[in-house]
Amino acid sequence: MTNEFKNTPPIGLLPAQLVLGIGGLFIGTAEFAAMGLLPDMAETYGVDIPAAGHLISAYAIGVVVGAPLLAMITARMERRKILMWLAALVLVGNALSAAAGSFGMNAVARFISGLPHGAYYGTAGLLAASMVPQSQRTQAIGRVMLGLAAANLVGVPLVTWMGQAFGWRSAFGLVAAGGALMLLLLPFTVPKLEPESGASPRTELSAFSSAQVWMTLATAAIGFGGMFAVYSYISPTLTKVTGQPESNVPWFLALWGLGMVVGNVAGGWLADKSLTKSIVGFLIWNAFFLAIFTWTASNVPMAAVTLFLIGIGFALVPALQARLMDAAPKAQSLASALNHSAFNTSNAIGAWTGGMSISMGYGWASTGLVGAALAGGGLLIFLVAVAQVRFAASGVECRGK
C-alpha cells in the first residue's frame, strides 16, 4: 500500500504536529504577553500606560513587516531550516525584551520579536499540510494554529502570573526559553521540506498579482476585525457593564480562549469538507454572536457563554490560510505569511472602530455591534471573491464549448 502522506516526519506525525503547535503557543504568548504586563512595564520605564502601549504596536509592526519580507528572503530555503532561524529570532527578540534597560531598546526588541510571527505560522502551516493527505490539510494547519489559541487559554494567564510574581522580565524570559526549546526539538521531530521547483523572491511576489489573494486578505483584515473590536475593550466592558471585579476578568478571557481551541479543531474539520461554505458560515457565526454580545454583556452567565461562542469564530484563521494557499499555488509561503499580516491589521481596525464607538458615547458594549458590522463587511468581500471565481470559471467553460 502506498503512503498517503507526502512528507513523513522522522518519529511520527503526532510529535511533529505537537512541536509545531508548541512553537505557535510560545509565539502567540509573546504577542499577547505585553498586554497584561503594561502597567508594570510603564512603571519600570517611567512612562504612562498609553505610551507603554507603543510596545504592543512595535510588535504588530514587526509582524506586518516580517511576514512578507522573510517569506521572500527565504523563498529558496528548506522549510525546516526556516523554522529554526525563526525560532532563533524568537529567542533573541524576547531575550532582548527581558534584558532591555530602556524603553527605546525594548521597543526595538518587541519589533524583532514580531518579525518571525507571520513567517512562522505560514511556514509551519505549509509544513504541517505537507505531512497529511490533501483531505486533511486544513485540520493540519489548524493544529499549528491551536498553539495560538492555547496561548490565550494557558500561555497568557501563565506569563501574567509570572510577571506579577517575579517581575515582567521573567515572562519574556520564558518565551525566549521557548525559542531555545524549539531550536532543540525541530531537527528531531519535523521533516525537511524543500521549496517548490522554481521558487524565488520574484515567484513569491506573484501572489500580489492575484485578485483572489487580495480579497481573501481583505476578508481577514475586515471580517476578523470584529473579534478585535470586542477583545480590545473586553476588560473595561466586563468591569463596567457586566459588573465583574478585575480578578474575574481572566476567567472570562479563558472562556474565550477555550472557544478558540474548540473552533480551531471543529473549524479545521469543517473546512476540509467544504472550504468556501465553511468560511461563509464562520463569518455569519461571528457577525451573529458579536451582535448578541451587545445585549448579553450586562448578564454574567449570558456574557460568559457569548464570549465562549465568539471565541469559536477563530476557526476562520486556518480556513483563510488554506484558501490563500489555493489562491497563490506558486507563492504559498508569502500568501500564508500574509494571512497573519492581515490578522494583525484586523487587530488595528477592530481596536480603532471599537474605540470610535465608545468615544462617541454608545457605551462599552457597543463594540459588539461594531464587530458584527465588520464581520458582515468581511462576508460581503468574500462573497464578491467567490462570485469572481465562479464568473471566471463560467467564462472558461463557455469558451471551451
Residues 223 and 76 in one domain: no
The CA–CA distances, whole Å, from 275 to 66, 279, 299, 315, 388 equal 28, 6, 35, 11, 16
In degrees and rounded to multiples of 5, residue 102 shows phi and psi of -135, 160
Contacts of 233 (CB under 8 A, 6+ apart): 351, 354, 355, 358, 364, 367
Q: How many Cα neighbours within 13 Å face the side chain of 373?
A: 12
Q: Tell me, what's the pLDDT at 329?
A: 74
Nearest to 286 by CA among 345, 224, 238: 224
The CA–CA distances, whole Å, from 85 to 75, 260, 289 equal 13, 28, 40
Q: Tell me, what's the pLDDT at 197?
A: 66
Nearest to 75 by CA among 343, 339, 323, 330: 330
Higher pLDDT, 215 or 71: 215
Residues 152 and 239 in one domain: no
Residues 231 and 106 in one domain: no
pTM of full prediction above 0.85: no
State the amino acid at position 113 in one-letter form: S
From 165, 195, 225, give the residue that closes a domain.
Answer: 195
Q: Tell me, what's the pLDDT at 318?
A: 83
Residues 184 and 164 in one domain: yes
Residue matched to cell numbers 472550504 = 275
From 147, 166, 195, give the residue that closes a domain.
Answer: 195
Q: Pinpoint the alpha helices (H) of 153-248.
A: 156-166, 168-189, 201-205, 211-218, 225-231, 234-240
Does the residue 323 lie in any domain?
yes
The lowest-confidence range among 123-127, 128-132, 205-209, 385-389 is: 205-209
Number of domains in the chain: 2
The lowest-confidence range among 83-92, 127-136, 201-210 is: 201-210
Residues 61 and 162 in one domain: yes
Distance CA 226, CA 55 (A): 23
Q: Percentage of the chain surpassing pLDDT 70?
A: 94
393 burial level (CB within 10 Å; 0-12, 13-18, 19+): exposed
Distance CA 85, CA 193 (A): 15
For the beta carbon of residue 240, count every other beta carbon within 10 angstroms: 14
Distance CA 60, CA 64 (A): 6
* pLDDT > 80? residue 334: no
Range of the domain at 313: 206-401
Residues 137 and 190 in one domain: yes
Residues 178 and 214 in one domain: no
Q: What is the CATH number of the domain that holds 68?
A: 1.20.1250.20
The lowest-confidence range among 101-115, 204-218, 297-311 is: 204-218
Does the residue 201 lie in any domain?
no
Does the residue 300 lie in any domain?
yes
- Residue pair 315/267 in contact (Cβ under 8 Å)? The answer is yes
Query: Tens of pLDDT along 165-178?
Result: 899 899 999 999 99
Residues 288 and 178 in one domain: no
- Residue pair 285/312 in contact (Cβ under 8 Å)? The answer is yes
Distance CA 93, CA 176 (A): 8
* pLDDT > 90? residue 185: yes
- Per DSSP, the three-state class of 370 is helix
Does the residue 69 lie in any domain?
yes
Q: Tell me, what's the pLDDT at 138?
A: 82
Contacts of 84 (CB under 8 A, 6+ apart): 182, 183, 186, 187
Does the residue 297 lie in any domain?
yes
Q: Tell me, what's the pLDDT at 83?
A: 94
Does the residue 200 lie in any domain?
no
268-287 burial: b if 16+ Cβ within 10 Å, else e: bebbbeebeebbebbbebbb
Query: Tens of pLDDT along 78-125?
Result: 889 999 999 999 999 999 999 999 999 999 999 999 999 888 988 888
CA-angle at 307, arms to 366 and 367, nearest 5°:
15
Residues 234 and 183 in one domain: no
Does the residue 95 lie in any domain?
yes
Residues 382 and 350 in one domain: yes
Q: Tell me, what's the pLDDT at 399?
A: 53
Q: Percentage of the chain surpassing pLDDT 90?
A: 36
Does the residue 248 lie in any domain?
yes
Distance CA 21, CA 137 (A): 15
Query: Tens of pLDDT along 340-375?
Result: 788 878 877 888 888 888 888 998 899 999 999 999
Residues 188 and 213 in one domain: no
Report residue 73's pLDDT band, with 50, 70 and 90 as the boundaries.
confident
Residues 168 and 255 in one domain: no
CA 56 to chain centre: 15
Query: Tens of pLDDT along 310-325?
Result: 999 988 888 888 888 7
Provide the residue count of the chain.
Answer: 401
* pLDDT > 80? residue 332: no
357-373 burial: b if 16+ Cβ within 10 Å, else e: bbeeeeebbbbbbbbbb
Q: Tell me, what's the pLDDT at 348?
A: 77
From 171, 195, 219, give the residue that closes a domain.
Answer: 195
